[in-house]
Amino acid sequence: MYNSSKRENCNKRKVNFFMVGAAKCGTTSMFRYLLQHPDVTWGEIKEPEFFSTKYVNLPHKGPKAKEFDEVRTYRIEDYEFLYRNVGAEKIIGDASTTYIYHEQCADDIKKYNPDAKILIMLRNPAVRAFSAYMHMKRDQCEKESFLDVYNQSNERVKMNYVGLFDYAGRSLYADRVEHYINIFGKDKVKVIVLEEFEKDKDKVMDELCDFLEISHFKFDLSRNYNVSGESLNKRKTRMIENMHMIFNQLIPKRIRYRIPQNLRWGIREFFYKKGRGDNIVKVQMTDDERKIILSNYLEDIKKLEIVLGRKLECWHE
């Protein structure tokens, strides 16, 4: 839990841009791309999860539970403190991907800032589920096959595992997207489909800048961040992950968040390159797995297409 007793210098400007999800749909890459724009800033952490924390049953159980739970922000004072260094940037963002999974978050964000803009990133639901699985496998949290753990999703929800383990449920989009549109209005909600983004990144970024009412910018879009995959050297990955964990334990959060954001991201990059980087190879699900999993989402895709008012051709290929 992030908590600070000194808030006299808190910035009183409100967060006005929320990238609410979905997890494993390119949100970390989008976060890093937008970070380049001079009119965009984020808080001290990518996902403070302030608006979703009260809707989850803490503490979580299972792998990674403590690591996920400790970064949550519980009080509005602590949330505001994360934005104390905001300057004159026009867009102040929060990239907590859990917000799309709790219906009440949309209502709470609307009450907090009625003029907020919402970004939702989506991806072929079967591919998203597999990417989440490979993310956890990369982090040494999964040993069973994809189909086996996919079918355990409901059981893990009942066991109060961290939400990312809900491979099945978190690939359902239609009702969640529709709720945000109903709460904020179509003009305040931007939906980006990852497969379409990857076909023409520059065009989509220009459209996003127009949505945010900021100038077009020449983004460096050459790198994808937080990529899921198989570890080539599991021992090396485990060693670096443990070093990162020890680093976080030795330096209290209240001190870490006083380190300039660029320096903190540099430290993260160091651990990323040493533990992941070239040590991670991307793995694709089999055609049979894709067909089996995608069949569970055909009705939801149809409903989502109605909500968005367009066909998602890239998910039918």
Decide if 12 contacts 80 (C-beta within 8 A): yes
Is 317 exposed, middle or buried, given 0-12, 13-18 or 19+ CB atoms closer than 10 A?
A: exposed
The model's pLDDT over 124-159, given as tens digits with 9 standing for 90+, comes to 999 999 999 999 998 889 999 999 999 999 999 999
The model's pLDDT over 84-126, given as tens digits with 9 standing for 90+, comes to 989 999 999 999 999 999 999 999 999 999 999 999 999 999 9
Report whether pLDDT(27) > 80: yes
Q: Is 316 left (phi over 0), alpha (psi -120 to 50) or beta?
A: alpha
Average pLDDT, the chain: 88
Q: What is the pLDDT of residue 162?
A: 94
Residue 60: name the closest of 132, 171, 157 by CA. 157
Query: Whose structure tokens read 């899921």?
Result: 228
CATH number for the 17-226+297-315 domain, one of 3.40.50.300, 2.102.10.10, 3.40.630.30, 1.20.810.10? 3.40.50.300
116: tokens are 């907020």
Q: How many CB atoms are closer than 10 A to CB 218? A: 9
- Percent of the chain exceeding pLDDT 70 equals 81
The mean pLDDT of 2-31, rounded to a whole number, is 79
129: tokens are 């589920």
69 confidence band (pLDDT: 50, 70, 90): confident
pTM of this structure: 0.87
Query: Whose structure tokens read 């379409």?
Result: 196
Q: Name the 3-class secondary structure at 201.
A: helix
* Domain ranges across the chain: 17-226+297-315, 230-281
List phi, psi (to 5°) of 41.
-140, 160
The model's pLDDT over 177-220, given as tens digits with 9 standing for 90+, comes to 999 999 999 999 999 999 999 999 999 999 999 999 999 999 99
Strand partners, 12: none
Provide the Cα torsion 292, 228, 19, 172; round to 10°: 10
Q: What is the CA radius of gyration of the chain?
A: 19
> Cα–Cα distance between 188 and 181 in angstroms, integer?
8
Decide if 212 contacts 117 (C-beta within 8 A): yes
- The bridge status of strand 230-231 relative to strand 117-122 is unpaired
